[in-house]
A and B are shown apart, each in its own frame.
Chain A
Amino acid sequence: MDSKTLIMEDRQNCVCSQSDLVKIKAQDINFFYGKQQALKDINLDVLSNKVTAIIGPSGCGKSTFIRLFNRMHELVPNTTLTGRIYLDGQDILGACVDPAEIRRRIGMVFQKPNPFPKNIFENISYGLEVNGIKNKEFIEGRVIESLKKAALWDEVKDRLHDSALNLSGGQQQRLCIARCLAVKPEVLLFDEPCASLDPISTRKIEELILELKKDYAIVIVTHNMQQAARVSDYTGFFLLGELIEFDKTEKIFKAPKNQKTEDYITGRFG
């Protein structure tokens, strides 16, 4: 690395650390499926306009963790959660907070593309309709805007009324992202968004994430170390329900403090 980029980076770091806004703050999180503990004493901050990657071996609780942010864990019966999660300083786990409201503000894209068995247009307008928006022109405008943002517009503009299930896997995933964007969230959660996609679609999604970062706080769960290194600013390493290390992505990949992190990262690539 030459000195120029180093200086640039230094300055960037400096600027960031001053204006970094904590978007989501997870505090002392413990989570149980029945009696089995899935998350142990987790503290983690998600920053605005940054991509936070969550890595770790299968079954370590990554999905469980990010599903707390939009209260999806409430769909699973028999679970216990202690600790606090704040969105812009507001406790989102409170009994008087409407989970639907939280889910509008924190969008989620799942591992497997899961468009509704409806047409492309309806898939995206759905989120607006369930939130009580009736104005047709407004909906149409928002659908187009979301498709453009999700870099899907050019591919589907002539067949908005075709079934979404006829799209390719990568297109479906971008459709799911557009569906998310349509309700104007503030945070985007991606749970292994590229797990079922080919390299080209994966690259498109990654470019998209970097683009979306300008407007959103982003959390991405991934098994792909290179992906984490490519797209994220911060990385958290989970192991058996514990957050082993959380730091700037560079530090995690270049100079991890914890031996376990290093083992995991290097083990992956031999």
Chain B
Amino acid sequence: MCLLKARQGCILPRPPNMENMIKVKERLYKWLFTILAFASLIFLVGIVIVLFKEALPIFKKVKALEFIFGKFWYPTYDPPEFGIFPLILASVWVSVGAMLVCVPLGVGSALYLNEIASHKQKAVLKPLVEILASIPSIVYGFFGMVVLAPFLQNLLHLPIGLCAFTASLTLGIMATPTVCSIAEDALSYVPKSFREASFAVGANRWQTLVKVVIPAAGSGISTAIILGMSRAIGETMTVLMVAGGAAVIPKSFFDPVRPMTSAIAAEMGEAPMGSDHFHALFAIALILFLITFVFNVIAEAISRKYRIKLGLSG
């Protein structure tokens, strides 16, 4: 008992005003974080409001359906035509193409890293992949424009190297490290005990991978794919540089195209503020926003469905 008291005595008593200071500090932090949290919410709401406000005027001139499904995008002609179907189609083509590249490559390399690579290989490769994922998109765009486009043009005897195909390939290569990195994380979160259980009943490696590990990592892998896809759809710089820029409905993968993002980026500078063209570009942005929003909702729904299936949470 005595000893205990003596020990307690060792701790310096706090000066009374220090207690106060700690309380004030705590309150300060609380406020700071509340403000920060609300700030991001306010920014989001602000962006949505601005998008709607600037986009709506165009729908007084053009009907929404005509705007979306109109085949001609001649915003600077007289009279102008505001049909963004070629742009939407370009975005879809390029994104789907990019998916076809980045999903097999990204998921495949994640499986390699997780299942086949030795510890040493993984220790080198995983950080490398993460570095690749953080390279600015303009570098990929530059690579696509200067290296890939001429190469493909020669190889496939194309009239122009800058086309939907090149854009898909560049975007796909760009999104691969992101997909790989996230998918690999998901795979490595699969508990070792699942694999052991599978091997213990006589499954081989391939069966274990396909029937146990991949399904268990399913939500993570689909998140990886959807994030990769969002990156492809929302990507601006790269497509601006390599997609070719023609706002006509593409007839083949080797036609130059103008996806929605590059239309906005390329034309915003020329469109006089408050003009129809200006509002039309905002409307494109709004539609793009809605598309990615739907994507995210789907991603969330998928991962929740998986979680329920796994019995992790409601």
Residues of A with Cβ closer than 8 Å to B?
A: 70, 72, 75, 77, 100-101, 103-104, 107-108, 110, 112, 114-118, 126-127, 129-131, 163-166, 176, 179-180, 182-183
Contact = CB atoms under 8 A, between A and B. Distances in A.
A56 to B, nearest CB: 22
A230 to B, nearest CB: 25
Given A77-B119, A117-B310, A166-B311, A103 B202 contact: yes
A75 B211 contact: no
Given A126-B211, A163-B310, A166-B311, A114 B197 contact: yes
B198 A126 contact: yes
A101 B212 CA distance: 19
Nearest to B307: A117
A163 B311 contact: yes
Interface stretch (B52-60, B173-181, B187-195, B246-254): B187-195
A70 B200 CA distance: 7
Given A126-B203, A130-B204, A130-B207, 13 more contacts: A72-B196, A75-B199, A100-B202, A110-B197, A110-B200, A114-B193, A116-B198, A116-B216, A117-B194, A117-B309, A130-B198, A165-B311, A180-B201
A108 B201 CA distance: 8
Interface residues of B, number: 24
Question: Chain B interface secondary structure, helix, strand, loop or mixed?
Answer: helix
A165 B193 CA distance: 14
B195 A116 contact: no
A100 B198 contact: no
A117 B216 contact: yes
A108 B198 CA distance: 10
Given A116-B212, A117-B215, A127 B202 contact: yes
Contact of A114 (B196, B203, B310): B196
Contacts of A100: 199, 202-204
B198 A117 contact: no
Contacts of A127: 201-203
Interface of B: 118-119, 191, 193-204, 207, 211-212, 215-216, 309-312
A130 B200 CA distance: 11
A114 B119 CA distance: 25
B165 to A, nearest CB: 40
Question: Chain A interface secondary structure, helix, strand, loop or mixed?
Answer: helix
B194 A114 contact: yes
Contacts of B211: 126, 129-130
Nearest to B208: A130
A114 B198 CA distance: 10
A116 B196 CA distance: 11
Contacts of A70: 200
Q: Give the top 8 A-B pairs by smallest Cβ distance, nearest first.
A: A165-B311, A127-B201, A114-B193, A104-B202, A130-B203, A163-B311, A117-B310, A108-B200
B196 A103 contact: no
Given A130-B207, A130-B211, A107 B309 contact: no
A112 B207 CA distance: 22
B312 to A, nearest CB: 8
Nearest to B206: A130
Nearest to B195: A75
B2 to A, nearest CB: 32
B197 A176 contact: yes
A170 B136 CA distance: 52
A126 B191 contact: no
A110 B196 contact: yes
B200 A117 contact: no
30 contacts: A72-B196, A72-B199, A75-B195, A75-B196, A75-B199, A77-B119, A100-B199, A100-B204, A103-B199, A103-B201, A110-B196, A110-B200, A112-B193, A114-B191, A114-B194, A116-B197, A117-B309, A117-B310, A126-B201, A126-B212, A127-B201, A127-B202, A127-B203, A130-B204, A130-B211, A164-B311, A165-B310, A176-B197, A180-B200, A180-B201
